[in-house]
Chains A and B, each alone.
Chain A
Protein backbone atom coordinates (compact mmCIF):
# COMPACT_ATOMS: atom_id res chain seq x y z
CA UNK A 1 0.00 0.00 0.00
CA UNK A 2 0.89 3.68 -0.04
CA UNK A 3 3.49 5.00 2.39
CA UNK A 4 3.86 8.72 3.09
CA UNK A 5 6.88 10.08 4.92
CA UNK A 6 6.95 13.60 6.31
CA UNK A 7 9.83 15.81 7.49
CA UNK A 8 10.65 17.48 9.75
CA UNK A 9 8.65 16.28 12.72
CA UNK A 10 9.08 19.65 14.45
CA UNK A 11 9.87 23.04 12.98
CA UNK A 12 10.44 26.31 14.78
CA UNK A 13 10.63 29.60 12.87
CA UNK A 14 10.63 33.27 13.71
CA UNK A 15 7.54 35.29 12.88
CA UNK A 16 7.79 36.58 9.34
CA UNK A 17 10.12 33.83 8.17
CA UNK A 18 9.16 31.07 5.74
CA UNK A 19 8.45 27.45 6.66
CA UNK A 20 8.81 24.41 4.41
CA UNK A 21 7.47 20.93 5.12
CA UNK A 22 8.35 18.03 2.83
CA UNK A 23 6.65 14.72 2.09
CA UNK A 24 7.49 11.74 -0.06
CA UNK A 25 5.14 9.04 -1.26
CA UNK A 26 5.75 5.52 -2.51
CA UNK A 27 2.91 4.74 -4.92
CA UNK A 28 3.46 6.31 -8.34
CA UNK A 29 -0.28 5.94 -9.02
CA UNK A 30 -1.14 8.47 -6.31
CA UNK A 31 -2.62 11.57 -7.88
CA UNK A 32 -4.16 13.69 -5.13
CA UNK A 33 -2.18 15.40 -2.36
CA UNK A 34 -3.96 17.44 0.31
CA UNK A 35 -2.51 19.25 3.31
CA UNK A 36 -4.29 19.53 6.64
CA UNK A 37 -3.75 21.85 9.57
CA UNK A 38 -4.65 20.68 13.06
CA UNK A 39 -4.66 23.11 15.96
CA UNK A 40 -4.39 21.75 19.46
CA UNK A 41 -7.55 19.90 20.45
CA UNK A 42 -9.24 20.59 17.13
CA UNK A 43 -10.07 18.64 14.00
CA UNK A 44 -7.74 18.44 11.00
CA UNK A 45 -8.81 21.01 8.40
CA UNK A 46 -7.97 21.02 4.72
CA UNK A 47 -5.86 24.07 3.82
CA UNK A 48 -4.70 23.34 0.29
CA UNK A 49 -4.49 20.45 -2.14
CA UNK A 50 -2.85 19.64 -5.45
CA UNK A 51 -3.51 17.11 -8.16
CA UNK A 52 -0.91 15.30 -10.22
CA UNK A 53 -1.59 17.29 -13.37
CA UNK A 54 -0.35 20.47 -11.66
CA UNK A 55 3.16 21.28 -10.47
CA UNK A 56 2.39 24.15 -8.11
CA UNK A 57 -0.57 25.79 -6.46
CA UNK A 58 -0.79 28.95 -4.36
CA UNK A 59 -3.33 30.39 -1.99
CA UNK A 60 -2.24 33.65 -0.39
CA UNK A 61 0.69 32.80 1.94
CA UNK A 62 0.47 29.06 1.32
CA UNK A 63 1.82 27.15 -1.65
CA UNK A 64 2.29 23.49 -2.50
CA UNK A 65 4.70 22.04 -5.04
CA UNK A 66 4.68 18.56 -6.54
CA UNK A 67 7.48 16.63 -8.21
CA UNK A 68 5.96 13.46 -9.67
CA UNK A 69 9.26 12.11 -10.93
CA UNK A 70 10.82 12.24 -7.49
CA UNK A 71 7.51 11.43 -5.78
CA UNK A 72 7.68 14.28 -3.34
CA UNK A 73 5.59 17.33 -2.52
CA UNK A 74 6.09 20.26 -0.21
CA UNK A 75 4.13 22.87 1.70
CA UNK A 76 5.50 26.41 1.79
CA UNK A 77 4.23 29.02 4.20
CA UNK A 78 5.55 32.55 3.75
CA UNK A 79 5.45 35.46 6.20
CA UNK A 80 4.58 33.12 9.05
CA UNK A 81 2.35 34.37 11.84
CA UNK A 82 1.72 33.02 15.37
CA UNK A 83 -1.66 31.66 14.24
CA UNK A 84 0.17 29.38 11.81
CA UNK A 85 1.40 27.39 14.82
CA UNK A 86 -0.21 23.94 14.54
CA UNK A 87 0.45 20.39 13.38
CA UNK A 88 0.46 20.01 9.60
CA UNK A 89 -0.26 16.70 7.87
CA UNK A 90 0.37 15.78 4.27
CA UNK A 91 -1.57 12.98 2.61
CA UNK A 92 -1.81 11.09 -0.65
CA UNK A 93 -4.48 9.10 -2.44
CA UNK A 94 -5.28 7.62 -5.81
CA UNK A 95 -8.39 6.77 -7.74
CA UNK A 96 -8.92 3.06 -7.49
CA UNK A 97 -11.90 0.81 -7.94
CA UNK A 98 -12.61 1.32 -4.25
CA UNK A 99 -12.22 5.08 -4.18
CA UNK A 100 -10.79 7.74 -2.02
CA UNK A 101 -8.50 6.45 0.74
CA UNK A 102 -6.04 9.02 2.09
CA UNK A 103 -2.74 7.91 3.61
CA UNK A 104 -1.42 10.54 6.01
CA UNK A 105 2.11 11.51 6.94
CA UNK A 106 3.14 11.55 10.58
CA UNK A 107 2.72 15.29 10.98
CA UNK A 108 4.94 18.34 11.53
CA UNK A 109 4.60 20.46 14.65
CA UNK A 110 5.17 24.05 13.47
CA UNK A 111 5.90 26.69 16.07
CA UNK A 112 6.06 30.32 15.05
CA UNK A 113 7.94 32.34 17.64
CA UNK A 114 7.51 36.04 18.23
Chain B
Protein backbone atom coordinates (compact mmCIF):
# COMPACT_ATOMS: atom_id res chain seq x y z
CA UNK B 1 0.00 0.00 0.00
CA UNK B 2 1.33 3.42 -0.95
CA UNK B 3 -0.14 5.03 2.13
CA UNK B 4 -2.01 8.32 2.14
CA UNK B 5 -1.01 10.35 -0.89
CA UNK B 6 -1.17 14.13 -0.93
CA UNK B 7 -0.46 16.58 -3.69
CA UNK B 8 1.15 18.93 -4.23
CA UNK B 9 4.00 18.64 -1.70
CA UNK B 10 4.67 22.36 -1.87
CA UNK B 11 2.50 25.21 -3.07
CA UNK B 12 3.43 28.86 -3.30
CA UNK B 13 0.67 31.19 -4.34
CA UNK B 14 -0.19 34.85 -4.27
CA UNK B 15 -2.74 36.28 -1.92
CA UNK B 16 -6.21 36.14 -3.42
CA UNK B 17 -5.58 33.08 -5.56
CA UNK B 18 -7.48 29.82 -5.27
CA UNK B 19 -5.60 26.85 -3.85
CA UNK B 20 -6.68 23.22 -4.10
CA UNK B 21 -5.04 20.49 -2.06
CA UNK B 22 -5.61 16.84 -2.91
CA UNK B 23 -5.65 13.61 -0.95
CA UNK B 24 -5.97 9.92 -1.72
CA UNK B 25 -6.64 7.87 1.43
CA UNK B 26 -5.57 4.31 2.04
CA UNK B 27 -7.86 1.90 0.23
CA UNK B 28 -10.48 0.51 2.60
CA UNK B 29 -10.22 3.29 5.15
CA UNK B 30 -13.60 4.83 5.90
CA UNK B 31 -12.47 7.97 7.73
CA UNK B 32 -10.62 10.89 6.18
CA UNK B 33 -9.30 13.90 8.09
CA UNK B 34 -7.83 17.24 7.11
CA UNK B 35 -5.46 18.86 9.63
CA UNK B 36 -3.51 22.09 9.55
CA UNK B 37 -0.21 22.43 11.39
CA UNK B 38 1.45 25.69 12.42
CA UNK B 39 4.01 26.53 15.07
CA UNK B 40 1.54 28.73 16.89
CA UNK B 41 -1.53 26.49 16.85
CA UNK B 42 -0.12 22.99 16.50
CA UNK B 43 -2.26 20.34 14.80
CA UNK B 44 -5.79 21.60 14.19
CA UNK B 45 -8.57 19.42 12.83
CA UNK B 46 -10.32 21.23 10.00
CA UNK B 47 -12.89 18.66 8.87
CA UNK B 48 -13.42 14.94 8.72
CA UNK B 49 -15.46 12.55 6.61
CA UNK B 50 -16.92 9.13 7.27
CA UNK B 51 -17.85 7.08 4.22
CA UNK B 52 -17.44 10.22 2.08
CA UNK B 53 -19.91 12.22 4.20
CA UNK B 54 -18.69 15.30 6.11
CA UNK B 55 -19.23 14.67 9.82
CA UNK B 56 -17.64 17.63 11.57
CA UNK B 57 -16.49 20.81 9.87
CA UNK B 58 -16.40 22.96 12.97
CA UNK B 59 -12.67 23.45 12.58
CA UNK B 60 -12.89 25.06 9.16
CA UNK B 61 -11.66 28.60 9.80
CA UNK B 62 -14.13 30.46 7.65
CA UNK B 63 -16.13 30.37 4.45
CA UNK B 64 -12.98 30.67 2.38
CA UNK B 65 -12.28 27.02 3.18
CA UNK B 66 -14.25 24.16 1.66
CA UNK B 67 -13.68 20.41 1.41
CA UNK B 68 -15.21 17.66 -0.66
CA UNK B 69 -14.98 13.91 -0.87
CA UNK B 70 -16.72 12.83 -4.10
CA UNK B 71 -15.71 9.19 -3.66
CA UNK B 72 -13.87 6.87 -1.29
CA UNK B 73 -10.51 7.42 -2.93
CA UNK B 74 -10.29 11.18 -3.30
CA UNK B 75 -10.74 14.37 -1.31
CA UNK B 76 -9.96 18.03 -1.88
CA UNK B 77 -9.46 21.01 0.39
CA UNK B 78 -9.96 24.34 -1.32
CA UNK B 79 -9.07 27.81 -0.13
CA UNK B 80 -10.55 30.73 -2.02
CA UNK B 81 -9.36 33.43 -1.80
CA UNK B 82 -6.10 32.53 -0.06
CA UNK B 83 -4.49 34.83 2.52
CA UNK B 84 -0.98 34.93 4.02
CA UNK B 85 -2.32 33.65 7.37
CA UNK B 86 -3.32 30.42 5.60
CA UNK B 87 0.36 29.54 5.24
CA UNK B 88 0.85 26.21 7.01
CA UNK B 89 1.39 22.52 6.44
CA UNK B 90 -1.87 20.78 5.59
CA UNK B 91 -2.06 17.09 6.41
CA UNK B 92 -4.58 14.57 5.22
CA UNK B 93 -5.01 11.39 7.27
CA UNK B 94 -7.17 8.30 7.03
CA UNK B 95 -8.22 5.51 9.35
CA UNK B 96 -10.39 2.43 9.48
CA UNK B 97 -13.24 2.31 11.97
CA UNK B 98 -13.27 4.02 15.36
CA UNK B 99 -10.69 3.80 18.10
CA UNK B 100 -7.78 3.44 15.72
CA UNK B 101 -4.83 5.65 14.93
CA UNK B 102 -4.55 7.65 11.78
CA UNK B 103 -2.10 7.29 8.92
CA UNK B 104 -0.96 10.70 7.80
CA UNK B 105 0.05 11.77 4.33
CA UNK B 106 3.30 13.63 3.71
CA UNK B 107 1.54 16.96 3.87
CA UNK B 108 1.30 20.00 1.62
CA UNK B 109 3.38 23.00 2.64
CA UNK B 110 1.38 26.04 1.58
CA UNK B 111 2.93 29.47 1.38
CA UNK B 112 0.73 32.43 0.53
CA UNK B 113 2.68 35.57 -0.34
Which A positions have Cβ atoms within 8 angstroms of B?
31-32, 34, 36, 42-46, 49, 51, 89, 93, 95, 98-107
Whether the Cβ atoms of B55 and A98 lie closer than 8 Å is yes
User: Known: A43-B107, A44-B43, A44-B91. Is A102-B102 also a contact (CB below 8 A)?
Assistant: yes
Whether the Cβ atoms of B99 and A95 lie closer than 8 Å is yes
User: Known: A106-B42, A107-B42. Is A99-B102 also a contact (CB below 8 A)?
Assistant: no
Whether the Cβ atoms of A93 and B99 lie closer than 8 Å is yes
Which of chain B's residues have a CB closer than 8 A to the CB of A105? 42
| A95-B98, A99-B55, A106-B42 given; 6 more Cβ-contact pairs under 8 Å | A31-B99, A32-B100, A36-B101, A100-B99, A101-B48, A102-B33
On chain B, which size bracket covers the interface?
Answer: 20 to 34
Which of chain B's residues have a CB closer than 8 A to the CB of A101? 33, 45, 48, 56
Whether the Cβ atoms of A43 and B104 lie closer than 8 Å is yes
What distance in Å separates the Cβ of B78 from its nearest Cβ neighbour in chain A?
22
Of A34, A98, A99, the contact of B101 (CB 8 Å cutoff): A34
What distance in Å separates the Cβ of B44 from its nearest Cβ neighbour in chain A?
8
Whether the Cβ atoms of A100 and B105 lie closer than 8 Å is no
Q: Which of B54-69 contact A (CB under 8 A)?
A: 55-56
Whether the Cβ atoms of B48 and A46 lie closer than 8 Å is no
What distance in Å separates the Cβ of A7 from its nearest Cβ neighbour in chain B?
14
User: Known: A43-B91, A43-B105, A46-B103. Is A100-B45 also a contact (CB below 8 A)?
Assistant: no
Which of chain A's residues have a CB closer than 8 A to the CB of B7? none
Which of chain B's residues have a CB closer than 8 A to the CB of A36? 101
Q: Digit string of B75-113 for contact with A (CB within 8 Å is 1, else 0)?
A: 000000000000000010001011111111111000000
What distance in Å separates the Cβ of A17 from its nearest Cβ neighbour in chain B?
26
Whether the Cβ atoms of A100 and B56 lie closer than 8 Å is no
